[in-house]
């Protein structure tokens, strides 16, 4: 955990202590693709759940300098920031905040394991009511996707990533001719407000090294 101060404002930022090496988020204009290995999917699922418990923090997942999985070469790579809507953080300030971040201090957090999620099952009928306000909204700024939502919507969707971590590795050896396991955060599911769909895919074939840091 680290922090940054801009004038009178102080921002608390939570980042993984160990890099998410095999995790890439790619902007394909009409939708977003997340490519993850088991470790990446499991840790992102845990951090997604942490976002539901940390309404005063920005949860930053640096991924934009990672190499894509083998065979995937197109699209703009992004970092990801998860935040509670009550924080009302302006993404236009993010590049300045990011530039002020120090190494931070380590803290231990218990994250849910693959196949053992605390995610709350969604009430699918209620999700499609006009009064539903538990929706994700997205903003894109400084090569970063901001996912803003309520504690409830983060809890109810963390299991998507944990399912990829739990089921993806076993799917590949059993389906050698169709080794593709994926889940979608889909517009028909009632989780997305002003937000694009995210295709979440398990990958076990990766390039070896990261790209040089971009500004």
Could you tell me the pTM of the whole model? 0.84
| pLDDT for res 104 | 63
| pLDDT for res 44 | 96
Could you tell me the CA-to-CA distances from 179 to 19, 46, 74, 150 in Å, in that order? 26, 25, 20, 34
| 174 phi/psi in degrees, rounded to 5 | -85, -15
CA dihedral 79, 80, 83, 89 (to 10 degrees): 30
Express each pLDDT in 148-193 by its tens digit: 999 999 999 999 999 999 999 988 778 777 668 999 999 888 899 9
* Helix (H/G/I), strand (E/B), else coil: 119: coil
Could you tell me the CA-to-CA distances from 139 to 15, 33, 144, 205, 210 in Å, in that order? 19, 16, 8, 30, 25
| pLDDT for res 119 | 44
Q: What residue ranges of the chain have pLDDT lower than 50? A: 114-121, 210-215
| pLDDT for res 214 | 38
Residue 139: CA count within 13 A, CB half-sphere: 16
Domain residue limits, the chain: 2-202
* Helix (H/G/I), strand (E/B), else coil: 84: strand
E strands in 74-157: 76-84, 137-141, 144-149
């Amino acid at each position: 955990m680290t922090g940054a101060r801009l004038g009178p404002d102080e921002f608390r930022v939570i980042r993984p202590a160990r890099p998410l090496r095999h995790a890439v988020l790619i902007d394909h204009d009409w939708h977003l693709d997340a490519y993850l290995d088991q470790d990446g999917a499991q840790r992102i699922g845990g951090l997604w759940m942490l976002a539901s418990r940390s309404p005063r923090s920005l949860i930053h997942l640096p991924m934009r300098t990672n190499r894509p999985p083998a065979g995937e070469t197109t699209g703009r790579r992004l970092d990801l920031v998860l935040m509670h809507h009550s924080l009302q953080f302006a993404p236009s300030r993010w590049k300045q905040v990011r530039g002020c971040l120090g190494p931070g201090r380590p803290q231990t957090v218990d994250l849910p394991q693959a196949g053992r999620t605390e995610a709350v099952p969604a009430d699918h009928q209620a999700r499609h009511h006009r009064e539903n306000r538990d929706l994700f909204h997205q903003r894109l700024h400084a090569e970063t996707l901001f996912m803003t939502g309520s504690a409830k919507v983060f809890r109810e969707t963390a299991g998507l990533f944990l399912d990829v971590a739990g089921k993806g590795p076993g799917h590949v050896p059993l389906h050698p001719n169709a080794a593709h396991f994926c889940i979608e955060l889909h517009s028909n599911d009632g989780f997305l407000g002003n937000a694009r769909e995210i295709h979440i895919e398990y990958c076990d074939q990766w390039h070896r090294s990261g790209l040089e840091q971009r500004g």
